[in-house]
Amino acid sequence: MAQGQFKDGIVAGRLSQTQYSDNFSDLHPPLDRHEAVVEADRCYFCYDAPCMQACPTSIDIPMFIRQIATDNPLGSAKTIFDQNILGGMCARVCPTETLCEEVCVREVAEGKPVQIGRLQRYATDVAMEAGKQFYERAAPSGKSVAVVGAGPAGLACAHRLAVAGHTVTIYEAKPKAGGLNEYGIAAYKTVDDFAQAEVDYVTAVGGIAIEYGKALGRDIALAELAATHDAVFLGMGLAGVNALRAEGEDAPGVDNAVEFIAGLRQADDLASIPVGRRVVVIGGGMTAIDAAIQSKLLGAEEVTICYRRGKEHMNASEYEQDLAASNGVVIRHWQQPKRVVAVNGTTVGIELEYTRLDQGKLVGTGEVVTLAADQVFKAIGQTFDAAPLNGSGNAIALEQGRIKVDEEGRTSMKSVWAGGDCIVGGEDLTVSAVAQGRDAADSINRALLDK
């Protein structure tokens, strides 16, 4: 370990450049051709395909695996892209262990499923590296669609609409497209700037323009978009961050895990990212896991995740929890933040209260424990900011704090659809956002053809 790794406080450069490179290498190296064919041969090609039923985008998994087995990776990639144009990223970040692979017959019978995610990556990588485009745009329809947000939902919607012949303009608040794929995924899950490579691949179909630095409610108004386009799709995700509701949470050293992950993803030099010696992450989802593991990989000596409920209640899959443990992260359950301990304006610890369930309701026990920490990350979920909608002229109906849509993604406002994390039922999964964007595009296309 590099000298100075165990310095107190939040500092950068805890490791050597070689250690940073090794720590943030590809989590799951890609399969080569031989490995892919051998793995594909393990598939039983089940007639009822439980894996396909478990996929939010309903990819024909037995078909694409059979195509790999017969050495037809391009055909396999088309089978994937027909349902999920962001299949390359989903192959890297999907929780396959709780979706397709969990119901794989091999998993049920042997405890070792077919590696569906890695096979999907193999096929899509072959196609993308070859620059193979499977879709040609239909004749121009003369219709235009505004898409708000260049995340998974927005990109999937834009691609399908562009293929149908419509002209699409994506309005993106950030400097880059990709949404959470660009800013919110652990760096070791998507290396070599893959998120931008995928954006380039998706937009290469033509008919899609992206305007950056355009935020709804600040630079553009929904009423304006609705008046100047034939349809609008809202896919802007979540912008707000839930508070810890703990005393002293504004102390220096208490940071937003989402911003930490985004900063790490955008860093040209990982040695420039400061991290504490003792890090505590509050939360139980994927963001908490990603922030914790990456803190350890940046050189933190002690990293602890504290979650207010039990292991079985965590949103992060058991696989991800095990991954954190294998990287030296300690996960403590039944603890909620009560007070950030600061001395002379510097965070030195966090006081947590033990919790329990009382008739199904989470309550504090009154017993507390204090953990030493010079950095605390908040990873307890994000919220939807509705202000840009209601400040845009026509209010859109909300439900449970998010946009209310019907089964086709239509909102209460005429000619406006929505999908992804901003809608009721958004699952914080790239694959679910892609499905919603894709299905909304089909609905928009039908509506535009009827005009």
The tens digit of pLDDT for each residue in 354-374 reads 999 999 999 999 999 999 999
Give the list of residues 6+ apart from residue 119 with CB closer than 8 angstroms, or none.
Answer: 31, 36, 39, 40, 64, 65, 68
All CATH 3.50.50.60 domain ranges of the chain, comma separated, are 17-25+241-381, 144-239+384-450
CATH of 144-239+384-450, one of 3.50.50.60, 3.40.1000.10, 2.60.120.10, 3.40.50.300: 3.50.50.60
The tens digit of pLDDT for each residue in 172-189 reads 999 999 999 999 999 999
| Whole-number pLDDT of residue 182 | 95
| Whole-number pLDDT of residue 394 | 65
Q: Is 333 exposed, middle or buried (0-12, 13-18, 19+ CB in 10 A)?
A: middle
Give the list of residues 6+ apart from residue 436 with CB closer than 8 angstroms, or none.
Answer: 153, 156, 409, 419, 420, 423, 426
| Whole-number pLDDT of residue 2 | 43
Angstrom distance (rounded) from CA 68 to CA 120: 9
The tens digit of pLDDT for each residue in 379-401 reads 998 888 888 887 665 678 999 88
Q: What is the pTM of this model?
A: 0.94
Two tokens at 6?
Answer: 């165990």
Architecture field, domain 17-25+241-381: 3-Layer(bba) Sandwich (3.50)
Angstrom distance (rounded) from CA 331 to CA 145: 46
Residues of the chain with pLDDT under 50: 1-4
Angstrom distance (rounded) from CA 11 to CA 97: 35
Neighbours of 428 (CB within 10 A): 18
All CATH 1.10.1060.10 domain ranges of the chain, comma separated, are 33-129
What CATH code would you report for 33-129?
Answer: 1.10.1060.10
| Whole-number pLDDT of residue 6 | 63
| Whole-number pLDDT of residue 1 | 40
Strand partners, 377: 255, 281
What is the DSSP code string of 157-170?
Answer: HHHHHHHTT-EEEE
